[in-house]
Amino acid sequence: MDDPLSRLDAALARSRFAWIGLGQLALIGLGLHLAADHLDDQVYAALSALVERLAGPLETVGLAPASPDDLLEPSAWIALALELLTLLHAFNSLTLTPLAPTLSPRAYRDALSVHALVLPLYWAPTALAGAWVVGMSVEDALAPFAPTPARWLGVITSVLIAWRLGLSGLARVIGGLSAPKSRLQGILWAPLLLTFAALAAWYGLPWRGVLS
């Protein structure tokens, strides 16, 4: 009879597909959450500008415009809703795709569409930002005890996670692309995905520290 450790090992091997998929999705979720933290500021600015523009007409009909404080909660909820919607898109991209797909330029050309073009532009910076978040968490946890090693361990952790989950996830979603019904497939998602990608790249990666 197999010992419990062998049975556990066999169960983990059978569920490897699911565990890696959850890790890839969680990595994207971290990057999206970081981006959403800054998206709510953009939403707040847009709502404030809209309220300011509508203040005159509202006062004309006897309605008081919303105060700046009234816009904080709606901005946060809008950013959260967009974050969850974008995470759902990532989940859909991972679902029913092979864990280690066969990649080829010809297959990608056959699947070429707006979705196929936007997907790597969205996935790569978001996954890198998620990996950087994990690495910086490791550094913060170890810094009180060993500042210099903590910094290097944080960087190494980020690189390993970006490679093991980020890169494999990117290969998985690209390899899972199929021939589109239209080359414009995904055009409605493109602005949202690219917005999150830009925020994740700018605020989630150490470019600003290097540039400054």
Does residue 54 fall inside a structural domain? no
Does residue 155 fall inside a structural domain? yes
Does residue 158 fall inside a structural domain? yes
Q: What is the pLDDT of residue 61?
A: 61
Does residue 63 fall inside a structural domain? no
Residue ranges making up the domain that contains 23: 19-35+86-204
Does residue 58 fall inside a structural domain? no
Does residue 62 fall inside a structural domain? no
The string of pLDDT tens digits covering residues 107-120 is: 888 889 999 999 99
Total structural domains within the chain: 1
Does residue 46 fall inside a structural domain? no
Q: What is the pTM of this model?
A: 0.83
pLDDT at 134 over 50: yes
Average pLDDT over residues 64-90: 85
Q: What is the pLDDT of residue 1?
A: 47
Q: What is the pLDDT of residue 5?
A: 63
The string of pLDDT tens digits covering residues 7-43 is: 665 665 666 667 788 889 999 999 999 999 999 888 8
What one-character-per-residue DSSP string does the chain give? ---HHHHHHHHHHHTHHHHHHHHHHHHHHHHHHHHHHHHHHHHHHHHHHHHHHHHHHHHHTT-PPPPGGGGHHHHHHHHHHHHHHHHHHHHHHHTT--SSPPP-HHHHHHT-SHHHHHHHHHHHHHHHHHHHHHHHHHHHHHTTT-HHHHHHHHHHHHHHHIIIIIIHHHHHHHHT----SSTTTTTTTHHHHHHHHHHHHHHHSTHHHHH-
Amino acid at 53: R
The string of pLDDT tens digits covering residues 151-190 is: 999 999 999 999 999 998 898 888 888 888 899 998 999 9
pLDDT at 63 over 90: no
Does residue 180 fall inside a structural domain? yes
Q: What is the pLDDT of residue 15?
A: 63
Average pLDDT over residues 55-79: 75
